[in-house]
């Protein structure tokens, strides 16, 4: 178990060569001795000093900028000093070794990954969601993700969460007060319009949840699995979406025996497209293993693209596949090779299917309601329900097939529509408010809070109101929300969160 009281040091800049490299030290105790030893003088707080950095024998290691940030006005809230030298691996290693040597008496050690940010959290310089956003900003793989991470880092997401938590606390106070003065109880809910206050909180919470879902898609990417019989054009579609030959395309059925994953972005949204072994009866052992893996991928998909061949309709075989697709995952039926069909996309497509974009009967959105969230939790299986929670409730309860699109992986026909459909199915709304970069953890906490508010609402609706149960659900909803910002968070969770940072941050 590492101590949060040791002075720590790390190279804060990326490994490799660069114009500048930074070695950063943080310590609960003042760092005067270390600074004096390396820079040869004391530093004015928050002033840039251009100085020689020397080793124990007075030999020059580098010349650079030294900056001191005394507690509490620093990134970590502790005493921090930064030595900014030239960004070469050897010079930075020497500077790091010099810090370890000069701080030995104070018990200095190398920082763990994320330990500077962990201290910033422990010293109330930022809450947990903000600390996570720091890592997400560093890891952002698209401009949209970086923008959203920056918004979360400055506290925009935390403010929303805290605002909701405060409103719940306020309502709880009123309920608890009423519990303490039972003669008032009967009138309580009417008097304080508790029900409408609760409904307003629940409605704002579901708005925040929708934004968080978008943020989670931005962060984690959407897992899109291409499934279908051999030779329908799965690998060709993967290549067409990727814009290059990521998978091998041949007219020989059974070419793709293991999955091929390709990352692409559509309007800044990352997608992990998984090409799988074609689904068919086979005696080939290797192919059978590939097919088993395909079903595993399908189980874990956020979205399934079920490919059909417009020239070779095989409705029974496709129906057999459809019947095995998980009910809660959105499915797009993609009728490929439309270039070979008379009339292209005007034609009916495979097996007399209604043309492109025919809605698959009832379903889509019509009977979507908030229960979808509870359902997704209920059938929790490895990762599946967690990811399903990212996709909007409406698309999940729609069942499948959600829609049928005609495309040609060869000519590119219909691919733009497919891209837009993928974004829509992900609940992505480009003209919506800029989302915060949220994590699965946040979404699960928001879902929990929403569930407790729902139950609280049921108690409030009963004629013989059960105020203490109402209060208890509010307390649980509040607890779920504050776990996002880290007011009450176990050490184990902190360990997991910060260990995923890079060293020096």
| Residue 250 assigned as binding residue | yes
Q: Which is nearer to ligand GDP, 335 or 484 (CB)?
A: 335
For helices 89-102 and 32-39, the axis angle rounded to 10 degrees is: 130
Min dist CB 443 to ligand GDP, Å, is 33
How open is the CA angle 494-439-160, to the nearest 5 degrees? 95
Min dist CB 292 to ligand GDP, Å, is 17
Q: Rule CB under 6 A: is residue 206 a binding residue for ligand GDP?
A: no
Q: Collapse the DSSP code of 240 into the 3-class scheme (helix H, G, I; strand E, B; otherwise coil) and give the result.
A: helix
CA dist 2 and 414 (Å) reads 56
Min dist CB 409 to ligand GDP, Å, is 4
Q: Rule CB under 6 A: is residue 230 a binding residue for ligand GDP?
A: yes
Q: Which is nearer to ligand GDP, 242 or 503 (CB)?
A: 242
Answer for which of 255, 265, 322, 420 binds ligand GDP (CB under 6 A) is: 255
Q: Which is nearer to ligand GDP, 341 or 422 (CB)?
A: 341
Q: Enter the tokens of residue 59.
A: 């030999």
| Residue 304 assigned as binding residue | no
Q: Which residues pair with 308 in a beta bridge?
A: 335
Answer for which of 37, 144, 149, 249 binds ligand GDP (CB under 6 A) is: 249
Q: Which residues pair with 306 in a beta bridge?
A: 227, 333
Dihedral pair phi/psi, residue 225, rounded to 5°: -110, 130
CB burial of 347-380 (b: ≥16 within 10 Å; e: otherwise) equals bbbbbebebbebebeeebeeebeeebbeebbeee
Specify whether the CB–CB gap between 79 and 128 falls below 8 A: no
The strand order across the sheet containing 358-359 reads 260-266, 269-275, 222-228, 303-309, 331-336, 403-406, 358-359
Q: How many residues does the chain have?
A: 505
Specify whether the CB–CB gap between 227 and 321 falls below 8 A: yes
User: x-or-dash pattern for ligand GDP, window 286-305, by CB under 6 A?
Assistant: --------------------
| Residue 466 assigned as binding residue | no
CA dist 295 and 308 (Å) reads 17
Min dist CB 317 to ligand GDP, Å, is 13
Q: What is the DSSP string of 44-98?
A: -BT--EEEEEE-TTS-EEEEEEEEEE-TTSSSSSSEEEEEEEEE-HHHHHHHHHH
Answer for which of 23, 232, 279, 437 binds ligand GDP (CB under 6 A) is: 232
Min dist CB 403 to ligand GDP, Å, is 18
- Residue 67: partners with Cβ closer than 8 Å, 6 or more residues away: 43, 46, 47, 48, 49, 81, 82, 84
Min dist CB 137 to ligand GDP, Å, is 37
| Residue 82 assigned as binding residue | yes
How open is the CA angle 13-15-18, to the nearest 5 degrees? 70
Q: Rule CB under 6 A: is residue 250 a binding residue for ligand GDP?
A: yes
Q: How deeply is 257 buried, as exposed, middle or buried, from its count of CB atoms within 10 A (0-12, 13-18, 19+)? A: middle
Answer for which of 360, 410, 469, 502 binds ligand GDP (CB under 6 A) is: 410
Min dist CB 426 to ligand GDP, Å, is 23
Answer for which of 162, 235, 345, 448 binds ligand GDP (CB under 6 A) is: 235
Q: Which is nearer to ligand GDP, 64 or 228 (CB)?
A: 228
Q: Enter the tokens of residue 130.
A: 């903000």
Min dist CB 277 to ligand GDP, Å, is 9
Q: Rule CB under 6 A: is residue 373 a binding residue for ligand GDP?
A: no
Answer for which of 243, 251, 352, 361 binds ligand GDP (CB under 6 A) is: 251
Min dist CB 196 to ligand GDP, Å, is 55
Q: Rule CB under 6 A: is residue 442 a binding residue for ligand GDP?
A: no
Stretch that binds ligand GDP, among 3-11, 210-218, 407-415, 426-434 (CB under 6 A): 407-415
Specify whether the CB–CB gap between 205 and 446 falls below 8 A: yes
| Residue 24 assigned as binding residue | yes
| Residue 278 assigned as binding residue | yes
The CA distances from residue 399 to 323, 368, 374, in Å, are 11, 10, 16
Q: Which residue is nearest to ligand GDP (CB)?
A: 233
Q: Rule CB under 6 A: is residue 306 a binding residue for ligand GDP?
A: no
Q: Rule CB under 6 A: is residue 256 a binding residue for ligand GDP?
A: yes
Min dist CB 474 to ligand GDP, Å, is 53
Q: Rule CB under 6 A: is residue 233 a binding residue for ligand GDP?
A: yes
Answer for which of 152, 231, 392, 485 binds ligand GDP (CB under 6 A) is: 231
CA dihedral 318, 319, 323, 327 (to 10 degrees): 80
Question: What residues between 335 and 354 interact with ligand GDP by CB under 6 A?
Answer: 336-337, 339-340
CA nearest to 392, candidates 212, 146, 169, 133 = 212
Q: Enter the tokens of residue 329.
A: 């995952």
Strand 49-54 to 60-69 pairing: antiparallel
Instruction: Pick out the residues of the known binding site for K(+).
Output: 231, 250, 252, 255
Binding-site residue numbers for GTP are 231-236, 250-256, 275-278
**Chain contacts with ligand GDP (rule: CB under 6 A):** 230-236, 249-251, 255-256, 278, 336-337, 339-340, 408-410
Going by the annotation, the residues of the binding site for Mg(2+) are 235, 256
């Amino acid at each position: 178990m590492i101590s949060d009281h040791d002075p720590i040091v790390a190279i804060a800049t990326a490994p490799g060569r660069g114009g500048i490299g930074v070695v950063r030290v943080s310590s609960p105790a003042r760092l005067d001795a270390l600074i004096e030893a390396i820079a040869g003088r004391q530093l004015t707080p928050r002033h840039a000093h251009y100085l020689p950095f020397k080793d124990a024998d007075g030999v020059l290691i580098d010349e650079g900028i030294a900056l001191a940030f005394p507690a509490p006005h620093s990134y970590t809230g502790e005493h921090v000093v930064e030595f900014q030298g030239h960004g070469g691996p050897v010079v930075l290693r020497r500077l790091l070794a010099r810090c370890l040597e000069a701080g030995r008496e104070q018990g200095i050690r190398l920082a763990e990954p994320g330990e500077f940010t962990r201290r910033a959290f422990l010293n109330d310089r930022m809450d947990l969601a903000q600390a996570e956003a720091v890592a997400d900003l560093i890891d952002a793989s698209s401009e949209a993700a970086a923008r959203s991470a920056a918004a979360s880092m400055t506290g925009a997401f935390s403010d929303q969460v805290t605002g909701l938590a405060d409103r719940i606390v306020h309502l709880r106070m009123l309920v608890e007060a009423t519990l303490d003065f039972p003669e008032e109880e009967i009138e309580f809910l009417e008097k304080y319009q508790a029900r409408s206050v609760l409904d307003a909180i629940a409605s704002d919470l579901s708005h925040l949840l929708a934004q968080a879902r978008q943020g989670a898609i931005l962060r984690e990417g959407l897992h899109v699995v291409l499934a279908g019989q051999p030779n329908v054009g799965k690998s060709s579609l993967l290549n067409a979406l990727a814009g290059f030959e990521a998978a091998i395309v041949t007219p020989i059925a059974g070419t793709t025996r293991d999955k091929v994953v390709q990352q692409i972005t559509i309007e800044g949204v990352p997608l992990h497209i998984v090409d799988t072994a074609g689904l068919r009866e086979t005696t080939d052992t290797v192919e059978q293993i590939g097919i088993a893996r395909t079903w595993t991928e399908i189980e874990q998909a956020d979205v399934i693209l079920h490919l059909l061949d417009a020239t070779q309709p095989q409705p029974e075989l496709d129906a057999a596949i459809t019947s095995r697709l998980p009910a809660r995952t959105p499915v797009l039926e993609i009728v490929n090779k439309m270039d070979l069909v008379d009339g292209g996309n005007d034609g009916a497509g495979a097996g007399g299917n209604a043309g492109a974009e025919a809605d698959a009967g009832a379903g889509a959105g019509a009977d979507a309601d908030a229960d979808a969230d509870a359902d997704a939790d209920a059938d929790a299986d490895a990762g599946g329900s967690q990811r399903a929670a990212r996709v909007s409730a409406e698309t999940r309860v729609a069942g499948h097939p959600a829609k049928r699109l005609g495309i040609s992986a060869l000519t590119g026909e219909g691919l733009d529509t497919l891209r837009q459909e993928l974004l829509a199915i992900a609940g992505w709304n480009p003209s919506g408010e800029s989302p915060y970069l949220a994590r699965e953890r946040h979404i699960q906490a928001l879902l929990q809070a929403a569930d407790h508010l729902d139950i609280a609402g049921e108690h409030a609706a009963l004629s013989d109101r059960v105020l203490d149960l109402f209060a208890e659900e509010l307390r649980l909803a509040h607890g779920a929300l504050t776990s996002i910002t880290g007011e009450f968070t176990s050490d184990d969770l902190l360990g997991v969160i910060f260990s995923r940072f890079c060293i020096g941050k």
